[in-house]
Amino acid sequence: MRAFAWSVLWIAAGAVAVSGFFVSAFFPDYSALRLKDSGLPILLMPLLFGFFLGVLLTEVEIGHVVVASLLMTVFALVLVAVFLFAPVLANLPSVVEGLTLFTIRNVGLSATLLFPLTITGSVVGHAFAAILLPPEQMKEEIRRLREETRRWHEELRRLQGERQGETPKELEEPKH
Amino acid sequence: MNAAAKVIGVCFLLLAGLGGYLLVQASVNYVNITEASTLIEDNLRFEEVRIHLPEGPTDRARVEVVFNLTNAGKIPVAVITLELGLYMDNRSDPRDPVDKMADIYVGAGAVSVSPEVASPVAPGTWSLVTVPVLVQQGTDEYRRFNVTEGGRYFPLIPSPKVVVSFPEFDVTYLFYLPDTYYSPLGVLPVG
């Protein structure tokens, strides 16, 4: 339950971050962040936040990470849509009549761009974290597996030595 | 979660906070600009038309069309372009004004400044914008201009083109003023 709550938090936080930077990149005139080059944040931010999400969800299965990145993207697109229709939600008439088509085109483009980028980022992040930043539970599991493997090897060598009529001295008292 | 993942988590939340701030601020700005654009069409009005007749034989007649811009929005706004066409109604011509437009056209007038140097009108205040139209004596335009009835001129100015900018946001908005200026009582020349 706790892990689920954390996952929801990361998904929500990622969606807010992705949509915030996305809107700033697409509509720099309205944003406090006057970005000169809008292409780079549109491509890099979903990748980066997907990567972060993958790192933060190291303890869950890769399939769940992909689902989480999909949810993050869908939620981010909902927030982008809320931004685009903010004047309508504020009961203002749409003065820019061309915006509706522009809006749909942008949301469509964002959907196309965001999904593969966040998923790629999350998968890479998950793999990266599993190798370089394994969680304590995974570390313990790996340690136990190594220990067990070592004991099996020792046992096999001992049995092999017995069969040949000699027991290696270093295996008489196994070190733990 | 190990220490490195915790650091990444904190960074992630900080970036999410920044993203949320950007999203909310962009939404508020977008709503304010849309509101200001909506209100500006109703709050830019014809104030008056002043006619200055030429004093010497080589002088030009000068018509000043004065607009009142009241900023009822929440953000500063500046008029950067105002273009209009001046017509002088010939009341002895019984045709409908639409039918005689080509015969009563006097000339065009415009003011245009770059958004960087335009004077913004703060929210809740108003400002006057004057558009001059000059008419050279001895031309067809002057002949059409100098048509009076009882010493009064009857200028007609249909739907000027307006471009406003929102200096804080580097956003411009173009529209045509829905009003047409026409005074049935006529306009006396200044002086």
What does the pLDDT average to over A133-157?
Answer: 85
- pLDDT band at residue A95 using 50, 70 and 90 as cut-offs: very low
Percent of chain B past pLDDT 90, that is, above it, reads 66
Q: Domains in chain B, please, with CATH?
A: 3-182 (2.60.40.10)
Query: How does DSSP classify residue A115?
Result: H
In this structure, the answer to whether residues A89 and A117 fall within a common structural domain is: yes
User: Quick one: how many helices (H) and strands (E) in chain B?
Assistant: 3, 9
Calculate the dihedral angle through the C-alpha atoms of A123, B14, A88, B70, rounding to the nearest 10 degrees.
Answer: -150
Inter-chain contacts counted by CB atoms under 8 A, chains A and B:
111
pLDDT at A12 over 90: yes
In this structure, the answer to whether residues A111 and A163 fall within a common structural domain is: no
In this structure, the answer to whether residues A92 and A11 fall within a common structural domain is: yes
Q: Note the pLDDT of residue A63.
A: 92
What does the pLDDT average to over A80-89?
Answer: 86
Q: What's the domain range around A126?
A: 2-133
C-alpha triplet A42, A59, B13: angle, nearest 5°: 45
Q: Note the pLDDT of residue A167.
A: 55
Question: Which ipTM did the prediction report?
Answer: 0.74
In this structure, the answer to whether residues A16 and A81 fall within a common structural domain is: yes
Enumerate the residues of chain B whose CB falls inside 8 A of the CB of residue A133: 2, 4-5
Interface of A with B in 65-124 (CB under 8 A): 79, 82-83, 86-87, 90, 92-96
Enumerate the residues of chain B whose CB falls inside 8 A of the CB of residue A52: 8, 11-12, 15
Contact residues for B166 (Cβ-Cβ < 8 A; gap 6+): B33, B36, B75, B76, B77, B78, B172, B173
In this structure, the answer to whether residues A150 and A119 fall within a common structural domain is: no
What's the pTM? 0.76
For A35-44, write each residue's pLDDT tens digit: 777 778 888 8
In this structure, the answer to whether residues A44 and A129 fall within a common structural domain is: yes
pLDDT at A173 over 60: no
Query: How does DSSP classify residue B32?
Result: H
Distances (CA, A) of B119 to B1, B27, B39, B133, B174: 56, 26, 18, 21, 17
- Phi and psi at residue B105, in whole multiples of 5°? -70, 130
Least confident window among A24-33, A145-154, B145-154: A24-33
Q: Note the pLDDT of residue A163.
A: 79
C-alpha triplet A155, A156, A159: angle, nearest 5°: 85
Q: Taking phi first (over 0 means left), then psi (-120 to 50 degrees means alpha), and beta for anything else, what does residue A91 get?
A: left
pLDDT at B100 over 80: yes
Task: Give me A139's structure tokens.
Answer: 């570390």
In this structure, the answer to whether residues A118 and A31 fall within a common structural domain is: yes
Q: Note the pLDDT of residue A43.
A: 86
In this structure, the answer to whether residues A40 and A103 fall within a common structural domain is: yes
Interface of B with A in 10-39 (CB under 8 A): 11-13, 15-16, 18-23, 25-27, 29-31, 33-35, 37-38
In this structure, the answer to whether residues A129 and A146 fall within a common structural domain is: no
What does the pLDDT average to over A145-153?
Answer: 92
What does the pLDDT average to over A139-168?
Answer: 84
Enumerate the residues of chain A whose CB falls inside 8 A of the CB of residue B15: 17, 49, 52
* Cβ–Cβ under 8 Å, residues A68 and A52: no
In this structure, the answer to whether residues A167 and A86 fall within a common structural domain is: no
Nearest to A55 among B8, B16, B23 (CB): B8
In this structure, the answer to whether residues A34 and A98 fall within a common structural domain is: yes
Rounded to the nearest integer, the mean pLDDT of chain B is: 91
Residue written as tokens 């108003």? B126
Helix (H, G, I), strand (E, B) or coil at A175: coil
Enumerate the residues of chain A whose CB falls inside 8 A of the CB of residue B8: 52, 55-56
Cβ pair B8:A27 closer than 8 A: no
Task: Give me B137's structure tokens.
Answer: 């004596």
Cα A12 from Cα A6, distance rounded (Å):
10
Cα B49 from Cα A7, distance rounded (Å):
67
In this structure, the answer to whether residues A150 and A129 fall within a common structural domain is: no
Number of domains in chain A: 2
Residue A176 lies in a domain: no
- pLDDT band at residue A134 using 50, 70 and 90 as cut-offs: confident
Q: Is the Cβ of A49 closer than 8 Å to some Cβ of chain B? A: yes
Q: Note the pLDDT of residue B102.
A: 87
pLDDT at B137 over 80: yes
Task: Give me A133's structure tokens.
Answer: 């930043």
For B31-79, write each residue's pLDDT tens digit: 998 888 888 888 999 999 999 999 888 899 999 999 999 999 899 999 9
